[in-house]
Chains A and B, each alone.
Chain A
Amino acid sequence: MNFSKAKFAAAILAVAIAAPTAASAYELTLPSLDYRTGPYAPGGIPYANGYHDYFNMLNQRDGGINGVKVNVIACETGYNTKKGVECYEKTKNAGSGALVYMPLSTGITYQLIPKVTADKIPLVTIGYGRTSARNGKVFEYIFNPPATYWDGATVAVKHATDIDGDLKGKKIALVYHNSAYGKEPIRTLEAMAKQRGFELMLLPVDHPGQEQKATWLQIRRNKPDWVFMWGWGVMNQVAIKEASSIRFPMDHFLGIWWSGGENDVLPAGAAADGYKALAFNAVGSDFAVHADITKHVYEKGVAIDQSYAARIGETHYNRGIFAGVLVSEAIKNAMSIHNTKEPTPAQVRDGLEALNITEDKWAELGLAGFTGPVTLSCADHRGSSSIAVQQWDASAKKWNIITDFVAPLDDVTAPLIAADSAAYAAENNITPRDCN
């Protein structure tokens, strides 16, 4: 081997492996664990764009948060937990040090919970992740506003009750992604099945979810009254197509919020009309924030994904914005509580616990009527929650929110959360902290 070539190769290798370091000025560093590749990209891309665009807009419009620039670092995970961990280790010391993580993956969340707790970096999982992390006394650095999967399950059952009346003797099928994510609601649904006397059918769908013929054959044979779905990525599109091919009544087919994207329903065309999904935020691009994003980000040509301009306002995109608002407000809180311009991750944790975004505050942020208030505290890391049902209108090609934003049934989930977080605390020798 030619030795100068070998040296050159070694030098490139060394530089390429070493994580980027050494940024001079302080920046608010927010790693974004994106996934724009693989079978979950249909959900990952809009969300990641929303998150990036929101901070990009703050940088362009206001010069950052309270004048401090935000640096969003993208790292591709492909919804894969191993790559997620690699991204975490790579970005946690990048720039001025990572302030908040949002992996948009329940699998990666489980992987990161012990790590961020040891590194004292907050992990915010909006509408996904580990439900019992709501108990802030045990999970100090994990937040799951504004809704958890167990909340989603209670609202789904509540919606079914609103439409069909008493569920006694009825049959509900749960079509779920066979992973930690999909299995989350099972406990709650089982508890509610016992309480309300309906029969629960569990139908797992294996990664990546393209093969569902057998699942829908079972549905055709057993004729459940309702089908709930915990799906993600291509699994959603396939399920909706299969449901339409067995002529399952779409208005009795209800997905979790992650199964309610535009990408999920469009491939099924007119057959998807009437399909429902839960939602914790409004849809559409009629908010002031979207106008600002268009003006400051897309028109200046500085967006991370310039070709996305026509699609802003999609459901998952808006959730990216939602995540961005929570983080930026938490950073503002951290700055004012600790009177600093350079908050640390632990201070941002305090900022998150002090989060109080009222209806007026949402309006002030340019998102009037976007969602209900978000109020977190030391003990309650989910806070106030408001969930609605949205329905797809295939002719207009848009989602419509068809119910009010309602609170989930906390009386069902509270004992489950207490039991699960206590088990976690016991397993990991955590003494629940005092929150007074």
Chain B
Amino acid sequence: MFYRETGQFKTNYADDQAIFPIAQDRWGIYIILGLAFLAAPLIMDDYWGNAILIPFLIYSLIALGLNILVGYCGQISLGTAAFMAVGSYASFKLMTSFPGLDFTIVVILSGLMTALVGMMFGLPSLRIKGFYLAVATLAAQFFLIWLFNKVEWFYNYSATGQISAPERTAFMFPVTGPSASVLYKYYFCLCIVVITALATKNVVRGRIGRSWMAIRDMDIAAELIGVRPVYAKLSAFAFSSFLIGMGGALYFGVWLGAAEPTEAFGIDQSFQILFMVIIGGLGSILGAFLGAGFLWLLPIVLKNFMVDMLGLSTAFSEHMQVIIVGALIIIFLIVEPHGLARLWQILKEKMRLWPFPH
């Protein structure tokens, strides 16, 4: 009824190539962006910012990065947390070695550094596939974390191996450290996430993205039509690690403020992000956001609902929350193996026919 493309004619190439060719989708995204930019200050306090929205944005960015590798290029990776760690430690070293550097530049440089490391660990993907590649990336996970624990240079010889983010500014205002305003941190993350999501969307529907998808769908056929696997696979590793590295820099600098390698970048973290990508929807930009929302926000909602509204004990709620989220993951994967993004797509198709389905 209200979601219908009747009468929307595409009269030039620009209209035809738009990211959101349907006007309703376009308006939907404008409204969401409008809410994110304009309505957020109304509800923003330390809890909403530091515990809900900023982590959600950062996880979305990281899930977006992993989605390129797993969803678009079909190369499975279990080393996400290690690449986040590379981004975090790169940003820590940059922040402490060059105190005057703007944090925006720190984030971008950390991303580039992670892209290099990612490409290095992507090299095995040229020879091995599937589960074997997963094991190779698992090696990255353990090796890098061990390295950050072992070599004191990475944590500036601090007594405990803990790194903490000093106060640094981005465009004149502090964005890391305790005195940074939560609203400013939120906007900083939001801008980075919006820009990278837009860039990613355009990359994946361009030539590079198509070569990734060709490799994912059938690598031999892709080679036959002229896609070079070396470039395609390594560029996917590089681009993916670039986003994950930027996410890692934000994760450590803006959100946590202090981190130690074994806990903040453990294997659980890698799995959590892989689940976000799988639950959200492989090969979908929207999926990264939905997955991050599902796995970060839902446990908090459940916990607050059970503890504050139902008055259950904290331990019981925690256990219940793990059970409920776990059960929901299984249910979702059975009902819709292509993730939440696919559910949204089905819903849109139904709405186009509503109220007169076939």
Contact = CB atoms under 8 A, between A and B. Distances in A.
Interface of A: 1, 12-13, 15-17, 19-20, 34, 36-37, 41, 74-76, 78, 80-82, 85-86, 89-90, 92-93, 106-107, 110-111, 113-115, 117-118, 130-132, 178-180, 183-184, 186-187, 204, 206-207, 304, 420, 423, 427-429
B130 interface: no
Contacts of B41: none
B262 A178 contact: yes
Interface in B293-313: 297, 300-305, 307-309, 313
Nearest to B49: A89
Contacts of B166: 427-428
A15 B310 CA distance: 12
20 contacts: A16-B308, A17-B301, A19-B47, A37-B318, A37-B319, A74-B313, A75-B314, A76-B315, A76-B317, A80-B263, A81-B256, A82-B256, A89-B47, A106-B160, A107-B162, A118-B179, A132-B159, A179-B263, A180-B160, A180-B260
Of all A-B residue pairs in the complex, the 8 with the closest CB atoms, nearest first, are A36-B315, A118-B178, A114-B178, A76-B314, A16-B305, A180-B160, A86-B51, A89-B47
Contacts of B305: 12, 16
Given A85-B50, A89-B50, A107-B260, A114 B159 contact: no
A111 B256 contact: yes
A425 to B, nearest CB: 12
Contacts of B258: 81, 110-111, 113-114
Nearest to A177: B262
Given A17-B300, A89-B51, A90-B51, A78 B318 contact: yes
Interface of B: 45-48, 50-52, 55, 96, 149, 158-162, 164, 166-167, 177-179, 256-260, 262-264, 266, 297, 300-305, 307-309, 313-315, 317-319, 347
A295 to B, nearest CB: 23
A34 B162 CA distance: 22
A76 B308 CA distance: 12
A204 to B, nearest CB: 8
A258 B245 CA distance: 36
Contacts of B313: 36, 74, 304
Nearest to B50: A89
A17 B162 contact: no
Q: Is the interface of B mostly helix, strand, loop or mixed?
A: helix
Nearest to B96: A427
Most buried by B among A12, A81, A132: A81
A110 B163 CA distance: 9
A420 B160 CA distance: 11
A101 to B, nearest CB: 14
A186 to B, nearest CB: 7
A183 B155 CA distance: 13
Nearest to B55: A82
Contacts of A1: 347
A131 B179 CA distance: 23
Contacts of B309: 15-16
A17 B52 contact: yes
B263 A107 contact: yes
Contacts of B262: 178-179, 206-207
B142 to A, nearest CB: 10
A37 B47 CA distance: 23
Contacts of B264: 81-82
B47 A207 contact: no
Given A80-B263, A89-B50, A107-B263, A186 B347 contact: no
Given A85-B51, A89-B50, A180-B160, A16 B263 contact: no
Contact of A74 (B300, B301, B314): B314
Contacts of A75: 307, 314
Contacts of B307: 75-76
B159 A183 contact: yes
Given A16-B309, A34-B315, A179-B260, 11 more contacts: A17-B300, A17-B301, A74-B314, A76-B303, A76-B317, A81-B259, A92-B46, A93-B47, A118-B179, A130-B160, A180-B260
Best-buried of A12, A78, A82 by chain B (most CB within 10 Å): A82
Contacts of A113: 258
Contacts of B319: 37
Q: Residue among B149, B164, B313, B314 with the most chain A CB within 10 A?
A: B314
Among B55, B159, B266, B309, chain A packs the most CB atoms within 10 A around the CB of B159
Contacts of B159: 131-132, 183-184, 186-187, 420
Most buried by A among B50, B257, B258, B347: B258
B137 to A, nearest CB: 19
Contacts of A34: 314-315
Contacts of B46: 89, 92-93
Contacts of A13: 301
Contacts of A107: 162, 260, 263
A96 B309 CA distance: 19
Given A187-B159, A427-B166, A90 B317 contact: no
A336 B256 CA distance: 37
